[in-house]
Amino acid sequence: MKVYAINGSFRKEGNTDIIIDKVLEGAGSRGAETEKVFVDELGINSCQGCLECRQEGICRQEDNLHEIVRKIEEADAVVIGSPIYGNYMTGQLKILLDRLMGVISRITYVPGGGIKSITRLNPKKRHIVSILTAGAPTPECADDALKLLRRMLGSLANGGSMEEIVAVGINAKGAIVFPREEWIKVAAKYGVQDREAYAEKSMARNREVLKWAFELGQKLAD
Ligand SMILES: Cc1cc2nc3c(=O)[nH]c(=O)nc-3n(C[C@H](O)[C@H](O)[C@H](O)COP(=O)(O)O)c2cc1C
């Protein structure tokens, strides 16, 4: 069982990274082989818009994309994470997805409207986990990013599970694991009156996210 994780954040040990690691820890605890990469370190150029991939399923640019496609193809589970930047995913993850679009999937236009992606890769069952993290207190900011991830990654699933984690209310690096004192400081910065209650609520919410991430990881490998 191979789990391949792609982190669209720049921040190592940031919120997205910590949640991805929890999923991988859960999967690892059930014997899965795990690998995580940061998009920023993959050396992926921007899409040049030639549209050749839409016809051939191959990108003619010679960079590390081909290796990433191979890893995705091999994987039994793919985990993709990104912080929300401007109500979307990070630019570098979008660049990767632009490059992958016509290579991992073929787009068809559904009669009556809409787009459907059909896999070009080995159509084996893959479990998919999308992780989005945000400073905003509510999850709507992730809606647009999820729309693209569901369509693209959905084409890889072939009957595998499609899970999503949207962690909100976390801005600072590592806020997902902040202790009470740090949350009290955040509450003070935001002018919150009942700082204890704010800290308690934030910590409880984050604990739930991390517990769920771990359990999801276990489920991937079971
Ligand atoms: C350039 C930039 C844009 C951001 N835009 C949003 C946004 O639109 N909505 C939001 O809720 N948070 C936004 N954030 C906050 C991040 O989503 C948040 O800090 C996240 O936890 C960072 O995850 P990381 O630690 O994995 O990098 C933005 C952060 C940056 C740096």
Hey, which bits of the chain come out as E strands?
2-7, 33-38, 77-83, 105-109, 115-119, 127-133, 162-167
Q: Which of 19, 23, 80, 85 maximizes ligand 1 atoms within 8 Å of its Cβ, making it the mutation to test the pocket?
A: 85
Tell me what pLDDT residue 117 has: 85
Q: How far is CA 158 from CA 53, 118, 155, 185, in A?
A: 21, 9, 7, 46
Tell me what pLDDT residue 191 has: 97
Residue 129 identity (one-letter amino acid):
V
Find the 66 Cα to ligand 1 centroid distance in Å.
29
Tell me what pLDDT residue 43 has: 93
Position 202 confidence tier, pLDDT thresholds 50, 70, 90: very high
**Tell me: the pLDDT tens digits for 50-97?**
999 988 899 999 999 999 999 999 999 999 999 999 999 999 999 999
Mean pLDDT of the chain: 96
Find the 83 Cα to ligand 1 centroid distance in Å.
5
Position 30 confidence tier, pLDDT thresholds 50, 70, 90: very high
Q: Which of 171, 178, 205 maximizes ligand 1 atoms within 8 Å of its Cβ, making it the mutation to test the pocket?
A: 171
Please give the share of the chain, as a percent, with pLDDT higher than 90: 90
The answer on pLDDT for 185 being more than 90 is yes
Residue with the nearest Cα to atom 25 of ligand 1? 14
Find the 51 Cα to ligand 1 centroid distance in Å.
31
Domains and CATH numbers, the chain: 2-174+213-221 (3.40.50.360)
Q: Quick one: DSSP state of residue 45?
A: P
Ligand 1 atom closest to 17 (CA): 26
Q: Which of 23, 84, 132 maximizes ligand 1 atoms within 8 Å of its Cβ, making it the mutation to test the pocket?
A: 84
Q: Angle, nearest 10°, between helix axes 91-104 and 143-157?
A: 30
**Tell me: the pLDDT tens digits for 85-139?**
999 999 999 999 999 999 998 888 889 888 888 899 999 999 999 999 999 999 9
DSSP letters along 46-63, please? PP----HHHHHS---S-S
User: Taking the model in full, what pTM does it have?
Assistant: 0.96
Tell me what pLDDT residue 116 has: 85
> Which residues line ligand 1 at a C-beta cut-off of 6 Å?
9, 11, 14-17, 83-87, 133-136, 141, 170-171, 173
Tell me what pLDDT residue 114 has: 87
